[in-house]
Chain A
Amino acid sequence: MITMNNVSKHYGSFQVLTECSTQVQKGEVIVVCGPSGSGKSTLIKVVNGLEPFQSGEIIVNGLSVGDPKTNLSKLRSMVGMVFQNFELFPHMSIIDNLCIAQTKVLHRTQEVARDKGLKLLERVGLSAQAAKFPGQLSGGQQQRVAIARALAMDPICMLFDEPTSALDPEMVNEVLDVMTELAREGMTMMCVTHEMGFAKRVASRVIFMDQGRIVEDDSKEAFFANPRSERAQQFLAKILHH
């Protein structure tokens, strides 16, 4: 579903990604982790072309992301993305947040979009909030709406960029529960997260990044049992012992 071949990216002389290669099969859940500044967010943002890259190749569902001939908007409409800061549209009600791209990008009718939106709100447990505005919801609720908004486009895969990092601790689980359910239903997912419990529960594979390189790309069992690189061992020691 997603193939990355030797993808490199730099801002000026600063190398953000160095020859990153990996593959994601349909139905796999990949957790991407690593120290801050390791390039893990950038790694998933190049997948839907939100961040350009200078060399290498990314193929999503048969479409080359870096090819100027590719219709990036069309590709992005098939790839759901959830951001650290939710990025709901504050000037629209919750239901309008779920409908806008359905009607304007997929050209669904208002009724079809609304039905779909309400169903997804019910699925994330927020039916009662449909008429409210994002500012009236808690962070956890906003992030669940953001997941529903991405799902409303019927994406072929989902990208999560630290979806729980901006949340109060007591709201982390409500978001992880939605993501876990999604993973169990067979959604293809790439998640940048520090939630190792989530990784242990649902990940098929774990990618560990450091200084713009993919250092480990292994099954979760292998990664947690005996990480090969010293850097990953240190990282896990720090993150798991607290």
Chain B
Amino acid sequence: MYEFDWSSIPNALPFLWDGMMISLQITATAVIIGIVWGTLLALMRLSPIKPLSWFAAGYVNLFRAVPLVMVLLWFFLIVPHLLESLFGFPRGSDMRLGSAMAGFALFEAAYYSEIMRAGIQSVPKGQMSAASALGMTYAQGMRLVVLPQAFRNMVPLLLTQGIILFQDTSLVYVSALADFFGAAYKVGDRDGRLVELLLFAGAVYFVICFTASRIVRHYQQKLKTA
């Protein structure tokens, strides 16, 4: 019978906390950059200018057709070399966190772009007509009339995608970066208490994500009745 021993967790809490901060940093960066870049991609995709639309479609289809963990590896392995040779970054400088943020942001942008595209299309066409009829340019109509409504309609989906992203940040373990999952793994491995640490980490992920998705659901219901 396996004897559980949780004693290595209390001492490891500061290290795990640092790991959690890294996970949250990656999530926040990827959500913010992902939504901004994703919105731009959605606008390009819907643009009447064909090359822009093709570029956005190609980008989105590419990133949605490859596994996330592979994109992360590209960024860990290839991008630092590129930066070294292009911008003269010192060889061997630790760019794992930066690479992870960039990889996630660019990958998630493809998904956010599809959400925003659906959001823009959920706004009745007459809204843009009304904006144009008042003398607004296409850009003004988008920025002042269509996008605010698209965002409002899509907030629950954008947040849900953020929760999935937070779970996916655990994939940075492939670069040995000590995010929350990586930190828990390292501690467990060091103390020979992998099972306890992974159960603990799982419980923490569950509590955070479950709470967050409840909040999203609450907001969604409020939006429906408003």
Contact between B144 and A50, CB atoms less than 8 A apart: no
Contact between B133 and A81, CB atoms less than 8 A apart: yes
B111-129 contacts to A, CB under 8 A, are: 124, 126-127, 129
| B144: A residues at CB distance < 8 A | 100, 104
Digitize A143-154: 1 where CB-to-B-CB distance is under 8 Å, 0 elsewhere. Answer: 000000110010
> What residue in chain A is nearest B129 (Cβ atoms)?
A50
B148 on interface, CB distance cutoff 8 Å? yes
Contact between B132 and A104, CB atoms less than 8 A apart: no
A183-216 contacts to B, CB under 8 A, are: none
A73 to B140 CA separation, bound complex (whole angstroms): 11
A37 on interface, CB distance cutoff 8 Å? no
Contact between B132 and A153, CB atoms less than 8 A apart: no
Contact between A50 and B137, CB atoms less than 8 A apart: no
Known: A83-B126, A85-B126. A105 touches B136 (CB 8 A): yes
Contact between B152 and A87, CB atoms less than 8 A apart: no
A74 on interface, CB distance cutoff 8 Å? yes
| A91: B residues at CB distance < 8 A | 148-149, 152
> What residue in chain A is nearest B149 (Cβ atoms)?
A91
Number of interface residues of B (CB under 8 A): 18
Contact between A77 and B126, CB atoms less than 8 A apart: no
Digitize A101-139: 1 where CB-to-B-CB distance is under 8 Å, 0 elsewhere. Answer: 100111000000000000000000000000000000000
Digitize B144-159: 1 where CB-to-A-CB distance is under 8 Å, 0 elsewhere. Answer: 1100110010000000
Contact between A83 and B137, CB atoms less than 8 A apart: no
B49 on interface, CB distance cutoff 8 Å? no
A35 on interface, CB distance cutoff 8 Å? no
Contact between A105 and B134, CB atoms less than 8 A apart: yes
A106 to B134 CA separation, bound complex (whole angstroms): 10
A48 on interface, CB distance cutoff 8 Å? yes
Contact between A101 and B132, CB atoms less than 8 A apart: no
Contact between B145 and A77, CB atoms less than 8 A apart: no
Contact between B126 and A87, CB atoms less than 8 A apart: yes
State how many angstroms separate the Cβ of B203 from the closest Cβ of chain A. 40
A102 to B101 CA separation, bound complex (whole angstroms): 42
Known: A90-B149, A100-B144, A104-B144. A77 touches B134 (CB 8 A): yes
A149 to B145 CA separation, bound complex (whole angstroms): 15
B90 on interface, CB distance cutoff 8 Å? no
State how many angstroms separate the Cβ of B185 from the closest Cβ of chain A. 45
B142-174 contacts to A, CB under 8 A, are: 144-145, 148-149, 152
Known: A100-B144, A104-B140, A104-B144. A89 touches B135 (CB 8 A): no
A-B contact count (CB 8 A): 60
> What residue in chain B is nearest A76 (Cβ atoms)?
B135
Known: A100-B144, A104-B144. A89 touches B130 (CB 8 A): yes
Contact between B127 and A87, CB atoms less than 8 A apart: yes
A29-50 contacts to B, CB under 8 A, are: 48, 50
State how many angstroms separate the Cβ of B56 from the closest Cβ of chain A. 24
| A85: B residues at CB distance < 8 A | 124, 126
> What residue in chain A is nearest B126 (Cβ atoms)?
A87
A48 to B140 CA separation, bound complex (whole angstroms): 18
Contact between B129 and A83, CB atoms less than 8 A apart: yes
| B136: A residues at CB distance < 8 A | 73, 101, 104-105
| A100: B residues at CB distance < 8 A | 134, 144
Partner of A76, one of B124, B133, B152: B133
Which residues does A use to contact B, with CB under 8 Å?
A: 48, 50, 73-74, 76-81, 83, 85, 87-91, 100-101, 104-106, 149-150, 153
Closest 10 CB pairs of A and B: A77-B135, A87-B130, A101-B134, A81-B133, A105-B135, A87-B126, A76-B135, A73-B135, A73-B137, A91-B148
Known: A83-B133, A104-B136. 8 other contacts (CB 8 A): A73-B135, A83-B129, A87-B130, A89-B131, A89-B149, A104-B144, A105-B135, A106-B135
Question: Could you jot down 11 A-B contacts, CB within 8 Å?
Answer: A50-B129, A50-B132, A80-B133, A81-B130, A81-B133, A83-B130, A83-B133, A87-B127, A87-B130, A104-B140, A150-B134
